[in-house]
């Protein structure tokens, strides 16, 4: 089991194909990953996402979960599946008594870089400066979750919880 020294939070960049996850103990990153559910149809993937988030909640015992708000792109099918993944993630948190907080992509960029229009590579460079990361390859989803966790732990007064216990 993970050592808990402060207020533990989980940040999740939602997806049904890849799920970025970052766990913070206070402002210290203690775990991050890009989880890829087993190949299968969408319900099977959503079930795997729900199970992985539930397992992380059991292991790290967070008090809060940060999730990125939906960003609508041109592919409506993908947006719908990401929305379904957000639902599975939110239910996993709520069933374990974890408060859920939503942040827009722009709010995360502002918290990490100071600009809501920052490019992806600018966010990644700032994450690398703000958090000590073990040297290994990371996908964008994992970096997005870490950036979301930074925004969440900064306690920006403008960002309100979706639900508090």
pLDDT of amino acid 100? 96
Report the SS3 class of residue 161: strand
pLDDT of amino acid 96? 97
pLDDT of amino acid 154? 84
Catalytically annotated residues: 13, 68, 141
Distance CA 36, CA 66 (A): 19
pLDDT of amino acid 71? 67
pLDDT of amino acid 161? 45
Q: Where are the beta strands (DSSP E) in the chain?
A: 8-13, 19-25, 28-35, 64-68, 99-103, 161-163
Task: Kindly give the confidence (pLDDT) of every residue in the chain, 165 residues in length, as a single tens digit, with 9 standing for 90 and above.
Answer: 344 556 899 999 998 899 999 999 988 999 999 999 999 999 999 999 999 999 999 999 999 999 998 766 666 777 888 999 999 999 999 999 999 999 999 999 999 999 988 998 999 999 999 998 888 899 999 999 999 999 999 853 344 444 444
Distance CA 71, CA 34 (A): 19
Residue the block writes with tokens 């989980």:
10
Tokens linked to 130: 């703000």
């Amino acid at each position: 089991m993970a050592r808990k020294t402060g207020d533990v939070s989980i940040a999740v960049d939602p997806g049904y194909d890849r799920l970025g996850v970052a766990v913070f103990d206070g402002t210290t990153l203690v775990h991050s990953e890009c989880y890829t559910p087993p190949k299968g149809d969408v319900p099977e993937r959503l079930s795997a996402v729900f199970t992985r988030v539930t397992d992380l909640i059991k292991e790290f015992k967070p008090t809060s979960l940060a999730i990125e708000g939906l960003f609508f792109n041109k592919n409506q099918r993908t947006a719908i599946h990401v929305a379904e993944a957000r639902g599975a993630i939110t239910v996993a948190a709520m069933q374990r008594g974890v408060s859920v907080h939503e942040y827009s992509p722009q709010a995360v960029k502002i918290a990490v870089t100071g600009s809501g229009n920052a490019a992806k590579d600018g966010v990644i460079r700032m994450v690398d400066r703000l958090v000590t990361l073990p040297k290994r390859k990371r996908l964008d989803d994992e970096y997005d979750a870490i950036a979301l966790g930074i925004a969440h732990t900064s306690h920006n007064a403008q960002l309100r919880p979706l639900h508090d216990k």
